[in-house]
Amino acid sequence: RAWLFTITRNKLSTFLTSRRSHNQASGDSGQHELLTAHPDRSNSLEQDWDREFQRQLAARAMQTIQAEFEDKTWQAFWQTAVDGLSAAEVSRRIGLSAGAIYVAKSRVLARLKEEVERLQAEEE
C-alpha cells in the first residue's frame, strides 16, 4: 500500500506542478504569500491514506467474518466494541450474561485480528 500511495502522490504532484507552470508567479508579495500559505502536507496525506486503508481493511474483515458468528455474538461484539456500550447494558439488551458478552467480544476480536492480518498479507 505504501507504493500505491507514493505513485498517487507523485502523479498528483506532477499534475499540480504542470498546472502551476501555467500560472507563473509575478514575484509580488501577494503571490509569495499564496505560495507559502500551503505547507507541505505529504506527511498528513500519508497519515490520512494509511488511516483510510486501515478502516477499509477492517470493514472488509468484519464483512468476511460476520457470518461465522451467531447473531447475538455479533451484536455483543458490535455494541461493546463499536458502539461503546458497557457489557451490563448490552447484557440487558440482548439477554446474555455480562460474562458471555466479554467472551463474545473477545472471540470476535481474535478472529477479526486474524482476518485483518490475512488481508494485509494479501495486500503486500
| Confidence at 109, pLDDT banded by 50, 70, 90 | very high
The yes-or-no verdict on residue 63 having pLDDT over 80 is: yes
pTM of structure = 0.64
The yes-or-no verdict on residue 25 having pLDDT over 70 is: no
Instruction: Say how far apart CA 72 and CA 95 lie, in whole Å.
Output: 9
Q: 52-124: which CATH number, 1.10.10, 1.10.260, 2.40.160, 1.10.287?
A: 1.10.10
The pLDDT score that the predictor gives to residue 84 is 94
Which residues, other chains included, contact 111 with Cβ-Cβ below 8 Å and sequence gap of 6+? 65, 68, 69
41 three-state secondary structure: coil
Which residues, other chains included, contact 94 with Cβ-Cβ below 8 Å and sequence gap of 6+? 72, 75, 76, 79
Asked if 123 and 113 count as a contact pair (C-beta separation under 8 A), the reply is no
The pLDDT score that the predictor gives to residue 54 is 86
Average pLDDT, stretch 47-58? 84
